[in-house]
Structure 1
Amino acid sequence: MSPPRASKEERRDQIMKAATACFSRKGYHLTTMDDIVAESGLSKGSLYWHYKNKKDLFLSIVDWYLEQVKSGFEAAILAAPTAADRLRLFAELSAQMFSSPELEPLASVLIDFYAATRHDAEVNEAMRNVLNPFIELVTGLIEAGIAAGEFKAVNARQTAIALMAAYDGMYMYRMMLEDEFDWAETGRQFMETLLEGLSSE
């Protein structure tokens, strides 16, 4: 008896995992659709049945990445008792996320796409869709801290954007200085410096 045929969702998941592995090894620009075919073990026809080209596949992975990261992330942070504690937890969970075996390879590929946002409107929109939920989350945390009297009055959204930019920068430094870069400690020190500046006391 032949094994049951994989569902469309299972095939797409198989392709996305193969593509993520290829993108992580070679980078987005050097990876070819043939590489992904070989990694997935599927036929070229099957790959093109699901995705019209490499960019289409990558943008689908970005959507998947966002869902994976958001799952449980916000709920865990909002459970912390104070705004400062929530931002500390954001830093801790971000370090765990960037270091996780499942998400770290894709995070490294997202860096490849940053340069393309200036020249490709579709990529720009996809990257905004990744960043905006986190910017909005941090903005809300800072606004809550201001309302509670924990933080001084600042432009919450611009502060959130600065925080996200700092974490993206730390990730790039981690790729270059992997042997001496401690995510947990660097993120903790950065967050404590930020909280000291935000404190209303």
Structure 2
Amino acid sequence: MNEKQAERRKEILAVALQAFRERGYDKTSMDDVVEATGLSKGTIYWYFKNKQELFFALMEYVINQFFEDFETVFSTALEMTPTAAIVALFETCDAMLDTNPKIANFTLDFMLQALHYPEMRQQYAGYYARYIEELASIIQRGVDTDEFYQVDAHAVSVV
């Protein structure tokens, strides 16, 4: 995909994200995306073969945005106390939701759709596992340094 195509794909994703946030997965059609973008049906289908593929791409896009911000915290977590690292994660999440409050609705819709679609569930599980692993590492460091109570770091990170 060349640079122009990548930019067009991002434009479609931005418009589709708005449609899915407003209507949810079930009530959003590819025709809605076509209408909102002003592009032809053929153009939309060239980039995404169906609504599910578009929704997957959106979730990947949204999660990657979240993880870019989380990665900053994870990459500096060893320089902070475990408590400070966890506070930084919560502050990062809070800032993301303040910047884009409707993203929480989209993410919740994705999680609900994942209950019905094994492919979505598998994709979400991969992202979730990555976050849990990083968080568990921070919690375990807090346990090891007696900053936190003795707990199962993985179990706590899942909650």
Report the TM-score, using the length of structure 2 for normalisation.
0.89
| 2:129 counterpart of 1:128 | no
The letter of the residue matching 1:31 is T
Question: How far does residue 28 in structure 1 lie from its aligned partner after superposition?
Answer: 1.3
Secondary structure in 2 aligned to 1:71?
helix
Question: How far does residue 61 in structure 1 lie from its aligned partner after superposition?
Answer: 1.1
C-alpha distance in 2, partners of 1:116/1:137?
A: 25
| 2:28 counterpart of 1:31 | yes
Deviations 1:110-147 (A, max 9, x none): 21232332331101012113322221121111011112
Deviations 1:134-187 (A, max 9, x none): 21121111011112121122111110011xxxxxxxxxxxxxxxxxxxxxxxxx
Give the match for residue 17 of structure 2: 20
C-alpha distance in 1, partners of 2:153/2:78?
A: 20
Deviations 1:37-65 (A, max 9, x none): 11112111000011011110010111111
What are the ranges of 5 or more consecutive residues in structure 1 without an aligned counterpart?
1-5, 163-201
Superposition CA RMSD, Å: 1.9
C-alpha distance in 2, partners of 1:129/1:64?
A: 14
Where in structure 2 are the equivalents of 1:33-48 lying within 5 Å? 33-48=30-45
In the alignment, is the contact (CA less than 8 A) between 2:97 and 2:103 conserved in 1?
no
User: 53, 56, 60: which one pairs with 1:56?
Assistant: 53
The letter of the residue matching 1:89 is A
Give the match for residue 84 of structure 2: 85
Between the two proteins, the alignment pairs up a number of residues equal to 156
In the alignment, is the contact (CA less than 8 A) between 1:16 and 1:61 conserved in 2?
yes
What are the ranges of 5 or more consecutive residues in structure 2 without an aligned counterpart?
none
Aligned identity (percent) is 28
Answer with 1 or 2: which has the greater Rg: 1
